[in-house]
Structure 1
Amino acid sequence: MSNTQIDPRQARRDAKITAILSEAWLLAERDGLALISLRDLAARVDLRQPSLYVYFASKFDLYDAMFADGYRRLVAYLDDRPLPAEPRSAVEHFVALLVRFASGDPVVHQLLFQRTIPGFAPSPASWDAALEFYGRARAVLGRTGIEHQDDVDIFSSLVAGLCDQQIANDPGGDRWVEHVPRVVAMFLRGAIQPLT
């Protein structure tokens, strides 16, 4: 038997927060991120609106939890899909996964990678989840010898463009995923060579 005992109250609280986040994402898909109604959200999780503030002090607090949850979803998605060993193939595969993730969950993509909520900035704790993803992206690029910040910035811009085009013009499809090998090849040819 484990020495660690699960606090039933904390377990219930965690389960409620998970349910609130799940419903918040559904409302965001239905109405848009900026238009999530706390009244609707509370009703969907069997709470009165004032009781929602027991879990989230403000709407920005809710967005902050969604931001961290979105990055956890993205990292879990990547964890379930291992990258090839060959560096260039790994970059191609990584980019294709990001485009597919964005297309499959555009509201999550919007919160993580676009500034659509005026005044919202993630807390340091939530930003740590973003940094975990960023570290993974840098590691994938690092396998090809690319480490210069300018190259990383350009790479992220190219990926963002592919994601946005896929969402806007072929949601759920592969039109921009099919461009990934060519985009990666052009990027790698133009990248600053690592110092030797």
Structure 2
Amino acid sequence: MSIASDRRTRRRQETIGEILDMAIELMDAEGVAALSLSAVARRLGMQPPSLYQYFPSKMAIYDALFQRGSELQRDAYRTALASATTENPLKHNLIAATAFSRWCLDNPVYTQLLFWRTIPGFEPSPEAYAPAQETLEDLRNHLQATADAGYLHPDAASDEGIALFTSLTAGLLSQQMANEPDASFEDGRFVRMLPTVLDMFHQHYAPGG
């Protein structure tokens, strides 16, 4: 690849990043489903038709944001586990769920896009959904390892166990964001119950159960 071609590729990626950043900013101000391509273009000093050189439709922007949000959320989850200073897998559950919850509260627009059906007709592409599947597989592997170590029943890593775990944690976040959207993780009336909810999950899948 020539220097000029490399420069054009880099500039294109920078412009795509600027478009996505502006889309998030506007969605935060006006609502996730209220995104306007012409508003994004105007805020970036572009003519609306120029935006189509980067994204052919509004759904394509949503898809790119879904992928970016899924990658950020996955990386926050993995970073928290990688930096854990305890060997107790049950505490790892809390560390990972706490990192997930903090990220969601810090990124409410991405959270609505990833976990709530706020955009009629939108379905993420397989490529955009892949990082979310990786996060679920990380969770399954961790719960399986926790069960293998004797801390949980093997069913904790089943499809039903994954569904219960994600329902409990996502339910707290939904309640928090709906009722106290500006509260911190420490002060939130609902997310404060995260340790209690995980204890309930651990008791339901106790190794002797």
**Partners of 2:2 and 2:163 in 1: CA distance:** 44
**Partners of 1:192 and 1:67 in 2: CA distance:** 35
Would the alpha carbon gap of residues 4 and 161 (structure 1) be closer, same or farther in structure 2, given more than 3 Å must change? farther
1:56-71 alignment to 2 at 5 Å? 56-71=55-70
User: What one-letter code is carried by the residue in structure 1 that aligns with 2:36?
Assistant: S
Displacement, 1:110? Answer: 0.7
2:188 is equivalent to residue 188 of structure 1: no
8 Å contact kept, 2:169–2:197: no
**Partners of 1:99 and 1:135 in 2: CA distance:** 18
Equivalence for 1:149: 159
Equivalent of residue 140 in structure 1, options 133, 139, 142: 142
Single out whichever of 114-123 and 83-92 deviates more from structure 2: 83-92
Single out whichever of 52-61 and 97-106 deviates more from structure 2: 97-106
**Partners of 2:27 and 2:118 in 1: CA distance:** 12
Equivalence for 2:151: none
2:189 is equivalent to residue 179 of structure 1: no
Instruction: Work out the percentage of aligned pairs sharing the same amino acid.
Output: 34
Equivalence for 2:111: 109
1:4-19 alignment to 2 at 5 Å? 7-19=6-18
User: RMSD of the TM alignment (CA)?
Assistant: 2.2
User: What TM-score, normalized to structure 2?
Assistant: 0.84
| 4+ residue runs over 6 A deviation | 3-6
Cα shift readout 1:87-130 (whole Å, capped 9, x = no counterpart): 11011111122222221111111101111111111111111121
| Contiguous gaps of at least 5 residues in structure 1 | none
| Contiguous gaps of at least 5 residues in structure 2 | 148-155
1:2-41 alignment to 2 at 5 Å? 7-41=6-40
Question: When the two structures are aligned, how many residues end up with a matched partner?
Answer: 193
Cα shift readout 1:69-104 (whole Å, capped 9, x = no counterpart): 111221232344334431110111111222222211
User: What TM-score, normalized to structure 1?
Assistant: 0.89
1:68-83 alignment to 2 at 5 Å? 68-81=67-80, 82-83=83-84
2:177 is equivalent to residue 167 of structure 1: yes
SS of the residue 2:146 aligns to: coil
